[in-house]
Amino acid sequence: MIDDVDTTTLDQLVERLERAAEQLRTGDLSPDAAAGLVEDCAALASQASAELERMARASAQEPIPGQDSLL
């Protein structure tokens, strides 16, 4: 089940995205620095998406409780 899946990596990616969003909201970054941070956010979002896919595949492989194979 999804409750048994380790979410550490996803949690770390979310934290990094939240910190980046906060930096962008402050308006203290130069346009070049902000553009670089936006690119970093896109890469982090891509990693988070891949991690969610991995977690979904891992949970899909586990049988639903009470639905074990008869063989």
Can you give the pLDDT at residue 16?
97
Give tens-digit pLDDT for 13-70: 999 999 999 999 999 999 999 999 999 999 999 999 999 999 888 877 766 677 666 6
Query: Taking the model in full, what pTM does it have?
Result: 0.74
What are the boundaries of each domain within the chain? 2-59
Q: Which long-range contacts does 38-44 make (Cβ < 8 Å, 24+ apart)?
A: 41/17, 44/13, 44/16, 44/17, 44/20
